[in-house]
């Protein structure tokens, strides 16, 4: 279970998160929705431990681990995965090398044997077929020259390979056409189960037609202003954030 | 065990920025008295049983050297070197006549370094890499301080007419070839260090590939400085006759010492019509400690002459070691349509200094050169690319492409690019691109979010930065080079 209590954080000294309370039990998928600039990515980065995102109060624990005191790689080893809103390019680093290095780092942390090049390729090819990704994406440099959709699919491929226990997906739907959206959603849905929890950050309701969340939270100006069932997303879609804000105020 | 397997194990056992090749071998050595004069040169020449012409050649070089002064134009700093306070000849007392007679202590040294000198080990099928794939054997010439102690696979190569032996042996066995080519690419008085080398060179490798022969295996020389207070002055001469091909690799290590030791090599390559020489270096001399104490001064002159039409010389270097690197592997493109290439990774950490690059001298028509240089600096290190592209009026239609990329890790290091272009031919085309970048915070965070430690992340990103160069290395050595890059950067982050 992910448990966030009274979490506050600043960026460049500016308060962005102003007291977040959120619980996601294992087995559940929660959506966080909110207008641009409301602090969604900041929440994701704080959970993953990015430099420059300074926690000023509150706590965040995952299965009893104090996430906030851990290095980013320790959080990854504990099962946290962040699908980036803007996946990062690594020129010259082959995607296959990157994926295998990451997978073996995670496997080491779990006490599992590392995969050699052949074993890895077999696994990667299988996952890529499931995600309808062309195999040549393994040979290209990580995210370099990838289209927006390819980058997002590459994030989902990593999710499928690393099989985390807690996934934070930051606007994985933005910039995807409807077919790509379905593939990405299938990738996430395939992970669902009693040992998996996800925080799905999105700006639009559309993704939630494919990944049906257990709960929906509305983040505005660094605070969760409303929580509800999947129907809350629909309400947002028709009424807009302004109406919600007016009511919450 | 194969070079790769054992080196990998050596490498994997490395923790926290230690130099694993820093051990010393306890073996009985013979030294020439300290200092440098005509008598020392006569001593070296006599020890090696050289003909009179070579002694004369050395003495002339020495005379020229005495009239020269150390070059000061490179962007490196070091206290004056006392050339009289060093040994110019150090050799294991027991001189083996064949591989079977090599001192077991020496064999163990090379084994520790991951260089098998026993052909049986290659032949017994232990030449597999960690991922289980078969590896082609590599012929090795091992140079320990001043002498070559063993050369493997000589007989098999002889069947193809290939000569691969120490240069001392070549002087004895193939004097006509040595005399014809020695000093024709790097004249004895070419520069201060080349003159010093010509006067006192002790050993190194000699390769001759006959007409039309494609050398069936990688040739390599492994240089090891062991003795204290000793300089190493090796001399390598490689001749590829018409239509032949050879790929050659040199590697090097030295014990960890507080003192600075001098390594001043000369390498000459000659490619005739349609011949190709691929020369790769993985330089891992002791770089000194984290405070900048000790380490090798690597002052090297490497030059290749593309004498024949359509000949090609390709230099690939991965420079990770040495306190100071001063080195400009060059190509003289004489033959029409000849090709010169220079692929370089130079990595400097702590207090290391590197001033390295290349010279491409275009003389013949339609000659072509490519320069790809990747400089990485961390700690307080300084890294300079210095290159010259000269196109003579006769080099009609010549082309050069140069790309210099620098990567900085931390904010106390420096990277500098000094390209000289002298184009005296209207129809020639010269292109130059340069970039300087830092490892971005978002790249590091992305890798760490996927479970990589910060150092592994830096290693991965640096290897990516160097990919265009690393892919030029022979397969057998590419993996080792990647690991070396990572080790060189240990302690550079966090
Ligand atoms: N690296 C940063 N430097 C300065 N301000 C930032 C940075 N990241 C986010 N912010 C600010 O924090 C606020 C929340 O941003 P963000 O978390 O990215 O919102 P969202 O993901 O909901 O669009 C915005 O006002 C943004 O300008
Ligand atoms: Mg965002």
pLDDT digits (tens, 9 = 90+) for B260-297: 778 889 999 999 999 999 999 887 777 777 777 878 88
Please give the interface size between A and B, counted as residue pairs whose CB atoms are below 8 Å apart. Answer: 82
> What's the domain range around A152?
2-248
* Contact between A162 and B132 using a beta-carbon 8 Å cutoff: no
CA–centroid distance, A99 to ligand 1, in Å, is: 28
Q: How far apart are CA B360 and CA B342, in angstroms?
A: 9
> Which two three-digit tokens encode residue B260?
């600075």
> What distances in angstroms separate CA B376 from CA B237, B291, B298, B320, one per listed residue?
30, 19, 18, 10
pLDDT for A236 beyond 90: no
In this predicted structure, what is the pLDDT of residue B131?
Answer: 42
In this predicted structure, what is the pLDDT of residue B116?
Answer: 59
Q: How confident is the model at residue B258 (pLDDT cuts 50, 70, 90)?
A: low
End-to-end, the C-alpha distance of chain A in Å comes to 30
Show residues of chain A in contact with B468, CB under 8 Å: 92
CA–centroid distance, B275 to ligand 1, in Å, is: 60
- Of B337 and B225, the structure prediction assigns the larger pLDDT to B337
Region of poorest pLDDT, from A143-152, A186-195, B137-146, B306-315: B137-146
pLDDT tens-digit series, residues A12-64: 999 999 999 999 999 999 999 999 999 999 999 999 999 999 999 999 999 98
pLDDT for B325 beyond 80: yes
Nearest C-alpha in B relative to A82: B449
Q: Is A77 on the interface with B (CB under 8 A)?
A: yes
In this predicted structure, what is the pLDDT of residue B282?
Answer: 82
> Which residue, among B450, B453, B479, B485, would best test binding to A if mutated, counting the most A CBs under 10 Å from its CB?
B450
In this predicted structure, what is the pLDDT of residue A99?
Answer: 95
CA–centroid distance, A37 to ligand 1, in Å, is: 6
* Contact between A50 and B445 using a beta-carbon 8 Å cutoff: yes
Show residues of chain A in contact with B447, CB under 8 Å: 90, 98, 102
Average confidence (pLDDT) over A97-121: 93
CA–centroid distance, A17 to ligand 1, in Å, is: 10
In this predicted structure, what is the pLDDT of residue A51?
Answer: 94
Q: How confident is the model at residue B372 (pLDDT cuts 50, 70, 90)?
A: very high
pLDDT for B388 beyond 70: yes
Name the residue of A7, A8, A9, A14 whose CB sits within 8 Å of the most ligand 1 atoms, as the mutation to test its pocket: A14
pLDDT tens-digit series, residues B21-66: 666 666 666 777 888 899 989 988 998 899 999 999 999 999 999 9
Smallest Cβ–Cβ distance between B453 and the set A48, A50, A73 belongs to A73
pLDDT for A143 beyond 70: yes
pLDDT for A93 beyond 90: yes
Average confidence (pLDDT) over B159-164: 93
Residue B40: strand, helix, or coil: helix
CB-CB contact of B277 with B238 (8 Å): yes
Q: How confident is the model at residue B99 (pLDDT cuts 50, 70, 90)?
A: low
pLDDT tens-digit series, residues B189-221: 999 999 999 999 988 889 999 999 999 888 888
Show residues of chain A in contact with B460, CB under 8 Å: 90, 93, 97-98, 101
Nearest to A102 by CA among A31, A163, A172, A16: A163
Show residues of chain B in contact with A88, CB under 8 Å: 440, 442-443, 445-446
Q: Is A73 on the interface with B (CB under 8 A)?
A: yes
Nearest to B282 by CA among B3, B20, B477: B477
- In DSSP notation, B152-220 reads -SHHHHHHTT-EEEEHHHHHHH-HHHHHHHTTSSS-TTSSHHHHHHHHH----EEEEE-TT-B-SSEEE
Average confidence (pLDDT) over B155-181: 92
In this predicted structure, what is the pLDDT of residue B6?
Answer: 32
Ligand 1, residue A52: give the atom nearest the CA.
1
* Contact between B445 and A116 using a beta-carbon 8 Å cutoff: no
Q: How confident is the model at residue B337 (pLDDT cuts 50, 70, 90)?
A: very high
Q: What is the mean pLDDT of chain B?
A: 82
Residue B404: its H or E element: strand B399-408
Question: Closest residue (by CA) to atom 7 of ligand 1?
Answer: A11
Instruction: Tell me what percent of the residues of chain B surpass a pLDDT of 90.
Output: 44
Count up the domains in chain A and report the number: 1
Nearest C-alpha in B relative to A107: B451
Region of poorest pLDDT, from A165-174, A191-200, B167-176, B294-303: B294-303
CATH number of the domain at A207, please: 3.40.50.300
Chain B contact residues (CB < 8 Å to A): 131-132, 440-443, 445-454, 456, 460-461, 463-468
pLDDT tens-digit series, residues B83-94: 888 888 777 666
- Which residues line ion ligand 2, judged by CB < 5 Å? A 40-41, 85
Residues 6 or more apart in contact with residue B138 via CB below 8 angstroms: B3, B122, B217, B218, B219, B220, B249, B476
Smallest Cβ–Cβ distance between B449 and the set A72, A89, A93 belongs to A72
Region of poorest pLDDT, from A116-125, B182-191, B344-353, B439-448: B344-353
Show residues of chain A in contact with B132, CB under 8 Å: 116
Smallest Cβ–Cβ distance between B449 and the set A52, A76, A141 belongs to A76
* Contact between B452 and A90 using a beta-carbon 8 Å cutoff: no
Question: Closest residue (by CA) to atom 10 of ligand 1?
Answer: A11
Top mean pLDDT of A159-163, A244-248, B33-37 is at A159-163
Region of poorest pLDDT, from A145-149, A171-175, B48-52, B139-143: B139-143
Show residues of chain B in contact with A158, CB under 8 Å: 450
In this predicted structure, what is the pLDDT of residue B493?
Answer: 60
Region of poorest pLDDT, from B6-20, B44-58, B95-109: B6-20
* Contact between A87 and B446 using a beta-carbon 8 Å cutoff: yes
Q: How far apart are CA A79 and CA B376, in angstroms?
A: 34
Name the residue of A9, A11, A15, A83 whose CB sits within 8 Å of the most ligand 1 atoms, as the mutation to test its pocket: A11
Top mean pLDDT of A143-157, B26-40, B130-144, B474-488 is at A143-157
CB-CB contact of B340 with B360 (8 Å): yes
Q: How confident is the model at residue B19 (pLDDT cuts 50, 70, 90)?
A: low
- Cα torsion through B290, B292, B296, B300, rounded to 10: 110
Q: How confident is the model at residue B12 (pLDDT cuts 50, 70, 90)?
A: very low
pLDDT for B2 beyond 60: no
Which ligand is the nearest neighbour of the Cα of A46? Answer: 1
* Contact between A91 and B465 using a beta-carbon 8 Å cutoff: yes
Q: How confident is the model at residue B254 (pLDDT cuts 50, 70, 90)?
A: low
pLDDT for B8 beyond 70: no
Nearest C-alpha in A relative to B459: A93
């Amino acid at each position: 279970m992910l448990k966030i209590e009274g979490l506050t954080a600043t960026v460049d000294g500016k308060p962005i998160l102003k007291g977040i309370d959120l619980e996601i039990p294992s087995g559940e998928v929660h959506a966080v929705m909110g207008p641009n600039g409301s602090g969604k990515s900041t929440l994701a980065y704080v959970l993953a431990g990015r430099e420059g995102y300074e926690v000023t109060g509150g706590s965040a624990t995952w299965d009893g681990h104090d996430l906030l005191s851990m290095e980013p790689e320790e959080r990854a080893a504990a099962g946290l995965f962040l699908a980036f809103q803007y996946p990062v390019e690594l020129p010259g680093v082959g995607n296959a090398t990157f994926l295998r290095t990451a997978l073996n780092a995670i496997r080491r942390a779990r006490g599992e044997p590392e995969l050699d090049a052949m074993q890895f390729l077999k696994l990667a090819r299988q996952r890529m077929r499931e995600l309808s990704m062309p195999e040549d994406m393994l040979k290209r440099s990580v995210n370099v020259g990838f289209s927006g959709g390819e980058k997002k699919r590459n994030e989902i491929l990593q999710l499928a390979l690393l099989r985390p226990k807690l996934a934070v997906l930051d606007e994985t739907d933005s910039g995807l056409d409807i077919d790509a959206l379905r593939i990405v959603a299938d990738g996430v849905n395939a992970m669902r189960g009693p040992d998996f929890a996800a925080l799905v950050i999105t700006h639009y309701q559309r993704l939630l037609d494919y990944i049906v969340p257990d709960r929906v939270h509305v983040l505005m100006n660094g605070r969760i202003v409303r929580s509800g069932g999947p129907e809350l997303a629909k309400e947002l879609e028709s009424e807009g954030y302004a109406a919600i804000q007016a009511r919450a105020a | 065990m194969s070079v790769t397997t054992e080196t990998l194990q050596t490498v994997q056992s490395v923790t926290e920025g230690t130099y694993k090749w820093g051990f010393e071998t306890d073996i009985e050595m013979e030294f020439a008295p300290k200092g440098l004069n005509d008598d020392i040169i006569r001593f070296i020449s006599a020890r090696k049983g050289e003909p009179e012409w070579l002694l004369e050649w050395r003495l002339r070089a020495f005379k020229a050297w005495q009239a020269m002064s150390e070059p000061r134009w490179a962007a490196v700093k070091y206290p004056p070197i006392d050339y009289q306070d060093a040994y110019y000849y150090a050799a294991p007392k027991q001189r083996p006549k064949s591989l079977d007679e090599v001192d077991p202590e020496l064999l163990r040294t090379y084994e520790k370094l991951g260089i098998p000198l026993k052909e049986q080990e290659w032949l017994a099928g232990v030449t597999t890499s960690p991922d289980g794939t078969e590896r082609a054997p590599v012929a090795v010439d091992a140079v320990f301080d001043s002498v070559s102690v063993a050369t493997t696979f000589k007989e098999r190569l002889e069947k193809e007419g290939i000569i691969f032996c120490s240069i001392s042996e070549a002087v004895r066995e193939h004097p006509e070839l040595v005399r014809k080519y020695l000093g024709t690419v790097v004249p004895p008085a070419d520069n201060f260090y080349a003159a010093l080398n010509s006067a006192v060179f002790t050993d190194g490798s000699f390769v001759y590939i006959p007409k039309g022969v494609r050398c069936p295996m990688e040739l390599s020389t492994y240089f090891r400085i062991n003795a204290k207070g000793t300089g190493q002055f090796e001399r390598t001469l490689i001749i590829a006759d018409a239509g032949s091909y050879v790929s050659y690799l040199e590697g090097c290590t030295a014990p960890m010492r507080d003192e600075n030791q001098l390594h001043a090599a000369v390498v000459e390559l000659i490619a005739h019509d349609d011949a190709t020489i691929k020369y790769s270096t993985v330089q891992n001399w002791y770089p000194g400690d984290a405070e900048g104490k000790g380490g090798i001064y690597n002052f090297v002159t490497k030059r290749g002459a593309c004498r024949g039409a359509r000949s090609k010389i390709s230099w690939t270097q991965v420079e990770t070691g040495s306190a100071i690197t001063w080195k400009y592997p060059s190509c003289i493109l004489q033959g029409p349509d000849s090709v010169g290439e220079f692929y370089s990774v130079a990595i400097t950490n702590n207090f290391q200094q590197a001033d390295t690059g290349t010279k491409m001298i275009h003389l013949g028509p339609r000659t072509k050169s490519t320069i790809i240089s990747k400089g990485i600096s961390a700690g307080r290190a300084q890294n300079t690319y210095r290159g010259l592209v000269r196109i003579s009026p006769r080099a009609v239609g010549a082309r050069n492409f140069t790309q210099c990329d620098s990567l900085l890790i931390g904010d106390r290091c420096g990277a500098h690019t000094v390209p000289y272009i002298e184009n005296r031919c209207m129809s020639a085309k010269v292109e130059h691109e340069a970039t300087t970048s830092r490892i971005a915070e978002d790249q590091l965070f992305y890798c760490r979010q996927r479970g990589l430690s910060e150092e592994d992340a830096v290693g991965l990103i640096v290897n990516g930065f160097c990919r265009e160069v690393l892919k030029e290395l022979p397969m057998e050595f590419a993996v080792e080079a990647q690991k070396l890059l990572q080790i060189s950067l240990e302690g550079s982050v966090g």
